[in-house]
Amino acid sequence: NAGVTQTPKFQVLKTGQSMTLQCAQDMNHEYMSWYRQDPGMGLRLIHYSVGAGITDQGEVPNGYNVSRSTTEDFPLRLLSAAPSQTSVYFCASSYSSPGQYIEKLFFGSGTQLSVL
Amino acid sequence: AQRVTQPEKLLSVFKGAPVELKCNYSYSGSPELFWYVQYSRQRLQLLLRHISRESIKGFTADLNKGETSFHLKKPFAQEEDSAMYYCALNDAGGTSYGKLTFGQGTILTVHP
């Protein structure tokens, strides 16, 4: 199993450009989420999904869109990139079992994004 | 709103010395707390969770509801413990659905 795969690993954008960060998992996990990592701020939740077709906002959703058409994929779209979106982005997946919950998040390797 | 605070951005110790990474939280309910670790060139991964009351790689963490703390401790630090450590909180009272509140992170450096 590859686990959680993120592409690209690095990206440089100009202000106003749009792009999609890809995230795919091959573990059949129900839950997927996107975090951004900024110095001094820790990880902050952008959007999350509890299953195909179901998404919701996290703490810092402005400027980002998500969709979940399949269990495996959870892309993050930057609509019009701004310098404030310069960050490292992490995708994560997790699952629960009947009668118990498993709270271990499986993270991707991250995408380092710079917006000039 | 729930909040996780890690007061130390950087922490340096020598090999063999005890180490304690501090984590304080604010949450009115029954929290579930975790420590995640990111070693150099590796992915962020779960280190331990309070509900399991486990010791991983010599690290332990006790939930102190009175002091609202979940400090991570190891009696004898090793160089391979050098990493970024994040304290995280699930306030959902059950399955978090992948939504955790993370602290700011502490970079631990263990010197030889």
Look-up: residue for tokens 């091959």?
A26
CA distance B99 to chain A (A): 7
A48, B94: Cβ pair inside 8 Å? no
Alpha-helical (H) ranges within chain B are none
Tell me what pLDDT residue B4 has.
Answer: 95
Q: Chain A closest CA to B65's CA: distance in Å?
A: 20
**A99 close contact with B: CB closer than 8 A:** no
Q: Are B72 and B61 in contact (CB under 8 A)?
A: yes
Distance of residue A6 Cα from the nearest chain B Cα, in angstroms = 11
pLDDT at A102 over 90: no
Return the pLDDT at A83: 96
Point out the residue among A40, A45, A58 whose CB comes nearest to the CB of B104.
A40
Give the confidence band of B32 by pLDDT, cuts at 50, 70, 90. Answer: confident
Query: Is the pLDDT assigned to residue B56 strictly greater than 90?
Result: no
Q: What is the pLDDT of residue A99?
A: 61
For position A98, what pLDDT does the model report? Answer: 67
Condensed to tens digits (0 to 9), the pLDDT of residues A35-78 reads 999 988 899 999 999 999 999 999 999 999 999 999 999 999 99
Tell me which residue of B99, B101, B46, B22 sits closest to A41, measured CA to CA: B101
- Asked whether the beta carbons of residue A33 and residue B99 sit closer than 8 angstroms, the reply is yes
pLDDT tens figures, B72-103: 999 999 999 999 999 999 877 667 788 899 99
